[in-house]
Structure formats: structure tokens, C-alpha cells
A and B are shown apart, each in its own frame.
Chain A
Amino acid sequence: MIRGKPDEDEYWNSSKFKAFTFDDEDDDFTRLKESKRAVNSIRSLVEEEDEEDDVEKVSWSGEPVGSISWSVKETASSIRSTGEVRDQSFPKINTAPSLPKNSSGYSLSSLFKAFGETSIRNYAPELRKPKSEYKVRYVYSLEKFRSLQDKLLLLDEAVNAHDGNVITAVLIYLKKSLSKENLFRELITREIALRHYIHFLKEIEEQKLLLMQYRDHLNIRDENKRRDFLKSCLSLPFSPDDATHVQDHYTLLERQIIIEANDKQVESSGQADIFKKYPRKASILNMPIITTLYYSCFYHYGESDGTYSSPANIRKTFRISDKQFLLTCLGARAKLKAWFDVDALFTTKNWLGYTKKRSPIGFHRIVDILQKNNAPVQVLQEYVNLVEDAEQKISLAQKYKCHDVIINTYRDLKDRQQLIVYRGKVERGSSEYRKIEEILSNSVR
């Protein structure tokens, strides 16, 4: 909740749910497809360029600088210090998790110093010396740690030093000098080391953990190969929930391939009006389930649920909730201005044959979506009327200029004052104006 002075509302008040991706005036659905295609085409463009063209040069804009020697002198003098040296030692604190201290015969501390020496030397220009003088750092050999016990001591000591660089360095040595089985057996009980090891393997792209194996599908461009790869992932030991999702992923791509092949053919043959009227701007391959459903509601509405491309089939296969189905379907049909379909979405008949409009989501949201799709006032007001909350109904009606709804509501509320106010807002002599006049004069009697 924003709590502030009243006029703050001027800043924050906003229309409802304008961010709906595929309902935007500019047609975000189309844009999504377009940008996907654009990205793909850029990729191939960049690669071509790369062979013949110059690599892009880094360019800077900057003002000239003072001479370097001046700056070096300045730096040196400001770092140089005066006065006596104070005792400034700080206490060591326990950095858990601590491991039992060992008594290795090797001077481990010197080893770690060798790995990680970075000192103020780097900053004090007067202390600059050729790096070779302290190049010892990386020459230090780990070869003498040969027994398993020594290796593990080395590892534990590295972990105790809290320097990931050192831990990884030791792990690289252990990887080279220990069998996989032995190394993993020891790492299981050493969580910090294990996580460094896994991260290292991930970076050098050597070992694939469960989800990382699944992730590999992203590197496969060919949709058929990608689908086959996803199929092979089905046998991986995922958790039951995740297994369902991976199965869905496979099924989805399998169907997208079929739909894509079919629609491409139909579109190019010019058989179906819908493709002529609204040419596809990108392929449906690798789109999310909901985008696929939208596509299906757009191009394959009314197909029998036996076909892979029908909304009903997609809904059933991927266990799409009523609410989700309605939202997506509504978006697609409204985009096509198929108001009859929109109407049918909400109409339910009871056993006596009476029809009633129902929705799993509030009608104010429905109005929103319709409005975004430029629904005419006649359509809009029908749904504004279904909004239960009177206040919300009025405010929506005012926002979208559904005069009838407003006038009728005030009439039903017997709010003469508001009707008079509203009369002042509508055009003099218009049908709304006359309607208000009529009501006002009737109620006088």
C-alpha cells in the first residue's frame, strides 16, 4: 500500500492490466515471434560477418589526461606515510565450519601463501619490481602429496583457508592423481570441496549432473535432433514432478514439429483463409505451452479434439487449468474480433435451457482484456454489466464510456444526484443525454 499525501494518486493510478503480453495494441504475440526470428537471423548474420568483416573495435570518448609520470609521483606521495607504526593487529575469528586440525609434515601455510600472495606491493609504485622476483608463487609443486591421507589433509587445509582458488587448485591436482571413484568417495563427506569440484567441472564442461544433461538440449538447433535428445532425457532419474515436466517438454516439441510442418504446407498452398488474412510471422517451434495454445486458438479454433493442433487437445494433454485456458482463448479470439466465440466462452446453460454467463476469473479482468483488443462499446458494456461490485462496475463503465451501464446503475440505485452530474458529462442532445432526461422526468412523477 502506498501511504502518502493524497495527490500521490495522480502519479500512481493506472489502467488495469495493461501488461498482458499477447493482448497489447502492438500485438506482442507477433512481436515475440518476430523478435525470435530476428534473433535467429542475427545469429547467422554475425557468424557470416565474422569471416569476412572486421571485428568491431572498441571506441572510447575521453578527455586527455595529465602526464603519467606526474600521476605516478602523486600516487606515490599520497601513499607514503609518516609517523610511527601502531600495533594494529586484529583478532582471528572462528570461521566455521572448522575441521579438525591435522599434523601434516609439510609446511602447508607456505604453500597457501605461495598460491595467493597479493600484497600492497602492487599498489605502491616505489615497490614495483619485476614480477619474476616473486614468481615462486605458482612454481610450488603438489607432486609430493602422494598418499591418500596427505592428499586429503591438503584438501582439508585448503578448505580451511577459505580461498576458492586454492581449493580448486588442490582439486585439480587430486583429479589428476586420484581415480574418479576414490575422489568422489572422499568428496561426498566434504561439502565445500564437492561444490567447488562440481562448479569446476561445470565450467570446463566435463561432467554433467542431472539437470545439466537436460540443459544440453539448448545447444541443439535442429528440432528433430532436439526432440530425440529430449526423448533420451526421459529415462534420467528426475523427481516425479520434474519427470512429468520433461515428458511434457518432449511431447510439446513433438507436436510442434507436426503442427509446424502441416501449417507451413497449408499456408504456402493458400488453402486456408486464416493464414492468408493473418500470415504467420514465425514458427511455433520451441515456444512455451501457453504460446502454443494461443497459436492453436488463433489458427485452429473449432478443430475436433482428435487433432494435435486443436485447443481442446492441447488443453487436455498439458493439463491446462480452466482459468488459464479461458484467459488464453479469450486473448486469441478477441484479437480476431470473434465476439461470438468470446460470448460462447462464458455462456453456460442449465438443464432448463436458461443461459447464464460465468467466468472463473473476475469479469473486470475480462473487460480489461477485451478493451485491450479494441472491443466495441456494445461488447464491452455487456461484460461491464456482469461485474458484481457496483463501484467497480461504475468506474470501469466510466473508463470505457459505457454510458448505458452507468445510467442504468444510477437509475437502479435511484441516485438522482449522480444522474444529474453525469448528464453534465455527456454530449448535449446525444442519445445518452436524452435517456438521462427521460429517467429524470419519469422519476419526478
Chain B
Amino acid sequence: MQHSIRTSGNKPREVKGWAGVLLCSTSGPMAHSVRRDAPELPDFSLLKRLARDQLIYLLEQLPGRKDLFIEADLMSPLDRIANVTTLKQHDVDKLYKVEYKPIVSTSDQLCFLIRPRIKTVKWICDVVNADKAFGRFRKYKIIFSPQKFYACENLLEEQGIFGDVTTDEWSFYLLPLDDDIISLELPEFFRDNFLEGDQRWVRTAGSALHLLHSVYGPFSKLYGIGRCSKMAYESWREQVEEGEQRARQAEIGNVFLIDRDVDLVTPLCSQVVYEGLVDDIFRIKCGCVEFGPDVTSSDKSIKVMLNSQDKVFNEIRNEHFSQVFGFLSQKARNLQTAYDKRSGMDIKQMKTFVSEELKGLKQEHRLLSLHIGASESMMKRKTKQDFQELLKTEHSLLEGFEIRECISYIEEHINRQVSMVESMRLLCLLSLTENGLLPKDYRSLKAQFLQSYGIDHLLTFSNLKQLGLLVEQQPGETLTVMESRVGKLVNDKTAGKLTDAFSSLAKKSNFRALGRRLNLVPKSDEEYDLRVPRDMAYIFSGAYIPLSCKLIEQVLERDGWTGLEEVTRMLNGHEFAVTAGSNGSDARVKTDSQRIILVMFLGGCTFSEISALRFLGREKGLKFIVVTTAITNSARLLESMLDNHA
């Protein structure tokens, strides 16, 4: 067997990426003109069935009636693949949520469906030991999802209940949230891996990838960047080698793995694309959102699934928010016209209308009023929050323009005790884009933050520093300050060279230099027509092309990292590009699978990034499938850094 590794710096090869081969489709306003030759997405509902079947199998391992305790954050994922009826059919009597309190169940058999967390296992130990003290005999079973950890079993052993409790694994790695989004639903991945430095989920990521490979592979090419991506790749490769080989027609040809900490700027930006904005404001949970009375204009809240099944949503989800109102009102007018057709109909026509069209119209009417309500409510909130000024500051930070003014803005934001998370987000953006804060600024802003939001945020600052989200420039880095000043004076090329020379000094975000090299921040004096986006920057009002997506675009275009050496160096390396073994020539075959790219975000991705990739896919005749450890946004990401609650 032979193989070829293509990393940056290899012999020059013909760049025969898809970009040269395929025609570009033009994407007009709201036009989701699917290319005639765009490949079909694989059917991921199979993953749901696999998970359901395995759960049923595991439940059957504890025959007879039993009560089931479910970890809170497993409930929604479980909801997507099974329902009460399924569980009842398999002798589940009562369902409880894990609440870390003494239990009231009278069942002789208890089953716990949990994440492998010490806290939850500790609680189970308490439950079992309380039963023991009470002289009560029951059977216990813990089902860990997606896998068990030794530390959990060790705790059972230490607590003296190892034999009393049987354990199992429910390998529910992947939950399809939509046609092109699959989530591992592991929000703690980000903190565990990047803050705590705990690699417990690396193998999980490898296994998830292995599952996709087994069902939709074999993959022919894998690209990636980041330490965790590399390890996940290795874990996947080992599992492929251990497992049986199955030959089948591949549905997914290419894979791109990316660590979240390669690009921390993008998830910290305010989202202005509809789906991202809905997530920022209402928080989409497991593909479902709860709209309150202000949206429904009634006295109750409703839960709505947001995915491609919702025809109205599907048309606006990727659009810049400023375009959505116009679209919705056009839709409303069309709907009115359709209803109006009724007048002048005879009985027969009316009958046809009612049986064929009315239901669809009613459905559309319901969806339309829902999204109009949501848009209105979001507008109101953003106006109240003075969104325009906030965005202006954000864009100045991305551009490196009027930084002192930005700092004053942030300071006042803190002084006025406006949203803590927003203040933190702006501080982090400032640090990431400026390669850290000047010691004087850092000290002053930190002190004011602690005064406004509580001194226990010392813990938060420690975490942010550890992760590199909010740091102080070290004395040696004054060069960088000089560089950024110089960079404004001299032309880009010189500045780029200077930056490269300095960037090797320390691990930094290097945002400015990366921005220049990859053209992430378009010139601000150019008009940007949001109705007809010309690049991925439209997801941030034309102000910034997300680094993560730009890397993906570049690597696919170049079929590897060749020519991106400076970029990868500034990103601290860990890039790779590999091709499958001997029959590698297969990879040249232009099958549909070659135009389906699976992008795996380790540590989470945002809806804005997904929108950007969908745009890129439309432009290039590709289909992207996003696999992420969780859907994230600035608030989730920063909240995972908080430690100031008991």
C-alpha cells in the first residue's frame, strides 16, 4: 500500500481544483438557484435510526419495567430520534429528568441515560447508597452517551457500588439537525478541550467521523488545521484500520477538519444573517426555537422547528437581515393574491382550490406571520440595544480603525452596566484583533469590569487569559504595536513582511496580518450590495469574510495548503492534507461525492459560518455538510468561560 501526503511545501503541482473546472452560478437576490448539476445530499435520517435502534437494544438489556432518568441536555437530542411511545414499548414506565436530588421512584429497576460526567455519576452513587442504607434492593443501569469514561467507572468503584450498577454505552454520536447540519451536541467540547486542555473528546470526534466514513464514505481526501483536528484525524485513521473495510459507492468524498481556536474572531461577531440573528436573540436549541408572546402576538409561546422543511424560513435563513423584511412583505402580497383568486370562482373551481391549495396557503400564512413576528421582535430589541453603534464598533475593531474610540465605547458599555456578556465579547474582540491589550488598558478595563459586574469575574478573566481570548500584550510584544502603526503607514506588502517577521515571536492571533494576507476585511469605502452578495463577507454586512470559511475556500481551491505557508505559520501550524492510499487515482474521478464536502468544526460553529459555506457551495457548485460538536454563538462561547456561579 502506498500513500501520498500533501502538506504545504511539497513539489509544485498542478492546481486543478474545482474552481477551474466548474462554472460559477450567479446567485441573485433570494435566488437559491440550485445548480442543475449540484450533487444531492446524502440521507442522514439513517443516523437517527441507527441511534434509535441501539438505544432500544440497550433498553432491552434491562428486561422488565423500569423508570428512566434522563440527563437534561440529552432530552432534546433524544426527542429528535425517538418518542415516549418508543420508550413505553420497551418497558419504560416513568420518565424523569436528572435533577441531582433524591428520587421518588418506586420502580425496582432504574435506568440512567446520561453524559459521562462526574457530577451525574456522583448523584447516582448517592441514590444507590441511599437505597442501600434504606435496605432497598433495586437493579441499576447507567447508559453513558456517547461513551463512558474511566473516571466515571472509577467513581462507581470508589463508592462501592461498581457491581451493583451495570454500565453501557449508547454511541449516539451524531444528531442530524437539518439536511446539511449534523451536531454532536457536546457544547462542553469547547471548554474541555481548549480551556482545560482535556482531550477526553478527541476519540469521540474520531468515532463520529468514523461512523460517517462507514456509512457515507469511504472518504478520499481529508484536509485539516488545528491540534485537535490532527488528533481526531489520527483517532479516526486508527479506527478505520481496526475496523472492517467495506467497499461501497462513496457519498461523501472530502473532509475538512478545523479547530475552533483557529478562528475565535468569527464566533464572537454579532450575527446579522437571519438564522444567526434568531440564534443570538432567541437561542435555537437542537434545531428548535421558542418564540414568546411578543412574536406570536398572543398570550402563549410556541416552539417551532427551524429547518429546511419550513419553506419560508428556508428562503430567508441565509439572508442578511436587512433583506428579510422586503422578502417577507413580497411573500405576504403573493399570499394575498393567491387568496384573492377565490373571488370569481365557481363551485367546482372553489372545490379544487380548497382541496389543493388552501392547506398549503394556510400553512404558508402561519409560517409567514411567525417570521414576520420574529423579525419585528428582533428589530425592537436591537433598536433598544443601539445595535447600529455596536456594529460600528465591531467593524472598526475588525478593520483596525479608530481603536481608541472603540476602547472608549467598550469602557462606557462597562460603566453603564450594560449586558455583561456583550462587554466581555467586545473586550475579547479587541484583544483578538489587536493581539492583546496594552497592559495599561488591560488593567483599567479589567478593574472597571469587576466593579460593574462583580469581583468574582476574576475567575472569568483567568479563564479568558488561559484560552487566549483576552490577554495583555507582553513587554516583548511592543514590536507588534509598532508593526501595526507601521502597517498603517506603509503599503500592504511591506507590512505583511514585517508582520511575518514578528509573528514568529509568540503565539498570537495575528488577526491583522491574516486579514491582509487573506483579504478578510474588504476596503470600507467600497459599496457593498447586500441584495447581491459578491462574497462571504455579506454575512457580516460586507465588513468581514469569516476566517474559518476563507481557509476552507482557499484549501479546496488549491487542493491543499500549498501557497498558504505564511497563513498556516501565523495560525500556529498543525495543517494537513491527505489522500487515500493506492487506488488514489479514484480521487480524480469526478463523481458527485467529490463535490460533497464534510466540514467538521471541533469546538462548535455558528449559523453565520454555515450560511457562508452555503453561499460558497452555491457559487462553486459544491455541497457542504457541516458537522459540529455543537452550534455555538458568542454568548454560548463566553458563557462556557464563566465560573462565577455556585
* Real binding pair: yes
Flag A56-83 by CB within 8 Å of B: 1 or 0 each: 1111111111001001101100110111
Inter-chain CA distance A200–B118, complex, in Å, is 9
Contact across chains for B199 and A122 when beta carbons are under 8 A apart: no
Smallest CB gap from A79: residue in B: B215
Q: Given A8-B322, A11-B379, A87-B582: A165 and B97 within 8 A (CB)? A: no
Q: For the complex, is B235 an interface residue (Cβ under 8 Å from A)?
A: yes
Inter-chain CA distance A83–B250, complex, in Å, is 12
Q: Which of B147-155, B333-341, B493-501 contacts A (4 or more CB under 8 A)?
A: B147-155
Contact across chains for B643 and A215 when beta carbons are under 8 A apart: yes
Inter-chain CA distance A89–B385, complex, in Å, is 54
Q: Given A11-B321, A87-B1, A203-B151: A164 and B199 within 8 A (CB)? A: yes
Contact across chains for A289 and B574 when beta carbons are under 8 A apart: no
Inter-chain CA distance A199–B192, complex, in Å, is 9
Contact across chains for B3 and A91 when beta carbons are under 8 A apart: yes
Contact across chains for A17 and B85 when beta carbons are under 8 A apart: no
Inter-chain CA distance A202–B459, complex, in Å, is 14
Q: Which of A99-107, A147-155, A317-325 contacts B (4 or more CB under 8 A)?
A: A317-325
Inter-chain CA distance A125–B58, complex, in Å, is 12
Q: Which of B13-21, B176-184, B348-356, B522-530 contacts A (4 or more CB under 8 A)?
A: B522-530
Q: Which of B4, B85, B235, B451 contacts A64 (CB 8 A)?
A: B85
Q: Given A172-B154, A203-B151: A164 and B451 within 8 A (CB)? A: no
Residues of B within 8 A of A365 (CB): 412
Contact across chains for B416 and A327 when beta carbons are under 8 A apart: yes
Inter-chain CA distance A246–B54, complex, in Å, is 51
Q: For the complex, is B103 an interface residue (Cβ under 8 Å from A)?
A: yes
Q: For the complex, is B214 an interface residue (Cβ under 8 Å from A)?
A: yes
Q: Which of A113-121, A297-305, A428-436 contacts B (4 or more CB under 8 A)?
A: A113-121
For window 182-198 of chain B, which residues contact chain A by CB distance below 8 Å?
Answer: 192, 196-198
Residues of A within 8 A of B199 (CB): 162-164, 167, 192, 196
Inter-chain CA distance A45–B155, complex, in Å, is 31
Contact across chains for B458 and A214 when beta carbons are under 8 A apart: yes
Q: Given A1-B524, A87-B1: A62 and B85 within 8 A (CB)? A: yes
Residues of B within 8 A of A279 (CB): none
Contact across chains for A246 and B97 when beta carbons are under 8 A apart: no
Inter-chain CA distance A200–B154, complex, in Å, is 12
Q: Given A15-B383, A93-B230: A75 and B447 within 8 A (CB)? A: no
Contact across chains for B412 and A361 when beta carbons are under 8 A apart: yes
Contact across chains for A56 and B97 when beta carbons are under 8 A apart: yes
Q: Which of A18-26, A266-274, A341-349, A350-358 contacts B (4 or more CB under 8 A)?
A: A18-26
Inter-chain CA distance A79–B443, complex, in Å, is 58
Q: For the complex, is A278 an interface residue (Cβ under 8 Å from B)?
A: no
Give how many A residues have a beta carbon under 8 Å from the other chain's beta carbons: 112
Q: Given A88-B581, A196-B199: A14 and B171 within 8 A (CB)? A: no
Residues of A within 8 A of B207 (CB): 118
Flag B297-310 by CB within 8 Å of A: 1 or 0 each: 00000000000000
CB distance from A82 to the nearest CB of B (A): 7
CB distance from A288 to the nearest CB of B (A): 5
Inter-chain CA distance A1–B321, complex, in Å, is 15
Q: Which of A21, A75, A248 contacts B418 (CB 8 A)?
A: A21
Q: Which of A54, A163, A324 contacts B104 (CB 8 A)?
A: A54
CB distance from A119 to the nearest CB of B (A): 5
Q: For the complex, is B543 an interface residue (Cβ under 8 Å from A)?
A: yes
Inter-chain CA distance A196–B193, complex, in Å, is 10
Q: Given A60-B83, A89-B581, A163-B202: A2 and B243 within 8 A (CB)? A: no
Smallest CB gap from A116: residue in B: B203
CB distance from B242 to the nearest CB of A (A): 7
CB distance from B582 to the nearest CB of A (A): 5
Contact across chains for A85 and B245 when beta carbons are under 8 A apart: yes
Residues of A within 8 A of B524 (CB): 1, 3
Smallest CB gap from B51: residue in A: A123
Residues of A within 8 A of B198 (CB): 164, 168, 195-196, 199
For window 237-255 of chain B, which residues contact chain A by CB distance below 8 Å?
Answer: 237, 239-249
Q: Given A58-B95, A88-B245: A93 and B576 within 8 A (CB)? A: yes
Contact across chains for A86 and B527 when beta carbons are under 8 A apart: no
CB distance from A290 to the nearest CB of B (A): 5
Contact across chains for A55 and B96 when beta carbons are under 8 A apart: yes
Residues of A within 8 A of B95 (CB): 57-60
Q: Which of A17, A90, A162 contacts B578 (CB 8 A)?
A: A90
CB distance from B256 to the nearest CB of A (A): 15
Q: For the complex, is A169 an interface residue (Cβ under 8 Å from B)?
A: yes
Q: Which of B388-396, B424-432, B561-569 contacts A (4 or more CB under 8 A)?
A: B388-396
Q: For the complex, is A249 an interface residue (Cβ under 8 Å from B)?
A: yes
Contact across chains for A218 and B645 when beta carbons are under 8 A apart: yes
Inter-chain CA distance A330–B202, complex, in Å, is 52
Contact across chains for B234 and A162 when beta carbons are under 8 A apart: yes
Contact across chains for B169 and A118 when beta carbons are under 8 A apart: yes
Inter-chain CA distance A91–B218, complex, in Å, is 14
Flag A327-347 by CB within 8 Å of B: 1 or 0 each: 110000000000000000000
Inter-chain CA distance A115–B169, complex, in Å, is 13
Smallest CB gap from B411: residue in A: A323
Flag B365-394 by CB within 8 Å of A: 1 or 0 each: 000000000000001001111111101100
Residues of B within 8 A of A116 (CB): 203
Q: Given A123-B214, A164-B199, A192-B199: A290 and B451 within 8 A (CB)? A: yes
Q: For the complex, is B22 an interface residue (Cβ under 8 Å from A)?
A: no
CB distance from B350 to the nearest CB of A (A): 32
Contact across chains for A86 and B94 when beta carbons are under 8 A apart: no
Contact across chains for B168 and A89 when beta carbons are under 8 A apart: no
CB distance from A280 to the nearest CB of B (A): 19
Contact across chains for A92 and B237 when beta carbons are under 8 A apart: yes
Contact across chains for B462 and A211 when beta carbons are under 8 A apart: yes
Q: Which of B84, B96, B412, B448 contacts A62 (CB 8 A)?
A: B84
Smallest CB gap from A238: residue in B: B458
Q: For the complex, is B452 an interface residue (Cβ under 8 Å from A)?
A: yes
Q: For the complex, is A37 an interface residue (Cβ under 8 Å from B)?
A: no
| Residue from the set A22, A120, A199, A249 with the largest chain B CB neighbour count within 10 Å | A120
Flag B522-561 by CB within 8 Å of A: 1 or 0 each: 0010111111000000000111000000000000000000
Contact across chains for A246 and B154 when beta carbons are under 8 A apart: no
Residues of B within 8 A of A82 (CB): 247-248
Q: For the complex, is B506 an interface residue (Cβ under 8 Å from A)?
A: no
Residues of A within 8 A of B149 (CB): 165, 168
Contact across chains for A90 and B52 when beta carbons are under 8 A apart: no
Contact across chains for B541 and A2 when beta carbons are under 8 A apart: yes
Inter-chain CA distance A361–B409, complex, in Å, is 11
Smallest CB gap from B235: residue in A: A162
Inter-chain CA distance A324–B96, complex, in Å, is 49
Q: Which of A169, A218, A288 contacts B646 (CB 8 A)?
A: A218
Contact across chains for B417 and A290 when beta carbons are under 8 A apart: yes
Q: For the complex, is A291 an interface residue (Cβ under 8 Å from B)?
A: yes
Q: For the complex, is A179 an interface residue (Cβ under 8 Å from B)?
A: no
Q: Which of A4, A20, A138, A320 contacts B322 (CB 8 A)?
A: A4
Contact across chains for A13 and B388 when beta carbons are under 8 A apart: yes
Q: Given A11-B379, A327-B416: A65 and B247 within 8 A (CB)? A: no
Q: For the complex, is B518 an interface residue (Cβ under 8 Å from A)?
A: no
Q: Which of B119, B234, B541 contacts A92 (CB 8 A)?
A: B234
Inter-chain CA distance A164–B188, complex, in Å, is 14
Flag A181-212 by CB within 8 Å of B: 1 or 0 each: 00000000001100110111011100000010
| Residue from the set A12, A21, A65, A327 with the largest chain B CB neighbour count within 10 Å | A12
Q: Which of B242, B455, B583 contacts A245 (CB 8 A)?
A: B455
| A-B contacts besides A1-B396, A168-B200, 13 pairs, CB < 8 Å | A12-B388, A14-B387, A63-B83, A117-B242, A119-B239, A162-B234, A164-B199, A164-B202, A165-B149, A218-B644, A241-B443, A246-B455, A288-B452
Between-chain CB contacts (< 8 Å), 18 pairs: A3-B543, A14-B384, A14-B385, A16-B389, A18-B386, A55-B96, A57-B97, A63-B83, A88-B245, A89-B1, A118-B169, A122-B54, A123-B214, A165-B147, A192-B199, A204-B118, A245-B450, A290-B417
5 A-B pairs closest in CB distance: A62-B83, A195-B197, A164-B200, A164-B199, A169-B150
